[in-house]
Structure 1
């Protein structure tokens, strides 16, 4: 479904990604793990077309999308839920959801809103409430719901657990796992190593712009280098 080969990217003369190889098959949760500054957001922004790679290829559903306009990438079904939620604070919950289908799945908007409400009953309760008045957890639900409105083929979740309480983090990872069980392919970009590996099929660890480790999530969970670097063991 997604195949990244030899991806080099950065900002001006500043190199951030140095030859990234990554792939994701239909129906998988693939975790992309790394600390702040490792290059995770740069990779996301290149996958989504917000920046043009300096070298390499990004193949999505058989088409090279490297450097393609973001709206075309959305239309193809690659949807990113950005770090920090980025809801529209002065619009209602329902209006935020409606904007999720602006480029894709507009004809199914009403049905998809009801689907999102079924997944997130709290959003239905707050349908007319301004998004900026929601709690952090509710805003994260709204951001994911807005992404689901476009009927994604692949959903990129960028730090979905950031800023949430431990209880809400548990709920968020359970939700991600359920969405995957329902057939959604997910690229999970996270700093939360343990819980990401617990639900992912495979994982890639990004360090200083290169893939330092990759493999089945269950195997990486027991990797001595990963434990030393990220878990302090």
Structure 2
């Protein structure tokens, strides 16, 4: 579904991504792992059209995304749930969710809203509440629910476990597995190495703007030498 080849990007004269290659196939969860500052969020910004690439190519379902606007990329079905949730704190839960269908799937807004509330019963209970007054875990539910409102063909989740308690982290990863079980491909960009590798089919390790290791998640998870060299475990 998604193919990235030779991707280079950065900020001004500073090159952050120095030739990234990766792909996401239909129906799978892939994990993109690495510590802070290696380029994971920069990669997501390029895929979403927020940051231009300086070299390389991004294709989604055979369509070249280079140069497309963020709105065009959303309309294509590539949906990014950003790090830090980026919800609108003074708007209600329902209003935040409805904004997810602004550029895509607007005719099916009511049905998709019901689907989100079925997935996240707590959000139904809080639909009129200001989103900024929710707990961190509930705000993450709003962010993912907003992404679901656009009927994603591929969902990019950027650090969905960030700042959550261990119990909520478990709940969040269980939710990601349920979404994928329904047929939704997911690109999971995380620092939480252990749990990401447990659920992903394949993984990419990024260091200094390059993919330094890729392969089956089970192989990366079980190889002690790889864990020591690349993951610090």
TM-score of the two chains, using structure 2 as the length reference: 0.98
Residue by residue over 1:87-134, the C-alpha shift from the partner in whole angstroms, topping out at 9 and shown as x without a partner, is: 100000000000000000000000000000000000000000000000
Provide the C-alpha distance between the structure 2 equivalents of 1:181 and 1:19, rounded to a whole number of angstroms. 32
How much does 1:225 deviate? 4.2
CA distance in 1 between counterparts of 2:223 and 2:14 reads 31
Aligned to 1:84: 84
The alpha carbon displacement at 1:187 in A equals 0.3
RMSD: 0.9
Q: Is the 1:71–1:103 contact (alpha carbons within 8 Å) kept by the matching residues of 2?
A: yes
Partner of 2:16: 16
Instruction: Supply the distance in 2 between the matched residues of 1:110 and 1:149 (Cα, whole angstroms).
Output: 9
Task: Confirm or deny: 8 A CA contact 2:38 2:206 kept in the other structure.
Answer: yes
| Paired residue secondary structure (1:161) | coil
SS at match of 1:221: helix
Q: Secondary structure at the match of 1:90?
A: coil
Give the corresponding residue for 2:218.
218
Q: Which residue of 1 aligns with 2:38?
A: 38
* Residues 1-233 of structure 1 aligned to structure 2 (within 5 Å): 1-229=1-229, 232-233=232-233
Task: Please state how far the C-alpha of 1:230 moved relative to its aligned partner.
Answer: 5.8
* Aligned-pair CA distance for 1:223: 2.8
Is the contact made by 1:46 and 1:66 (CA closer than 8 Å) also made in structure 2?
no
**Which whole-Å CA distance do the structure 1 matches of 2:199 and 2:189 have between them?**
13
**Alignment: residue pair count:** 233
- Partners of 2:189 and 2:147 in 1: how far apart? 15
SS at match of 2:188: strand
- Pairwise CA distance, 1:231: 5.2
Q: Any runs of at least 4 consecutive aligned residues in structure 1 with deviations exceeding 3 A, and if so which? A: 229-233
C-alpha distance in structure 2 between counterparts of 1:102 and 1:50, whole Å: 17
- Helix, strand or coil for the counterpart of 1:116? helix
Measured after TM superposition, the shift of residue 232 of structure 1 is: 4.0
Q: Distance in 2 between matches of 1:28 and 1:186?
A: 6
Q: Is the deviation greater in 87-96 or in 217-226?
A: 217-226
Contact 2:205 2:230 (C-alpha < 8 Å) held by counterparts? no
- Structure 1 residue ranges without an equivalent (≥5): none
**Secondary structure of 1:188's match?**
strand
Deviation per CA, 1:140-189, whole angstroms, max 9, x where unpaired? 00000000000000000000000000000001001001100000010000
For residues 63 and 139 of structure 1, do their structure 2 counterparts lie closer, same or farther at Cα, with a shift above 3 Å needed? same
CA contact (8 A) 1:193 1:230 kept: no
Cα distance in 2, alignment partners of residues 151 and 89 from structure 1: 23
In 2, distance between residues paired with 1:230 and 1:54? 27
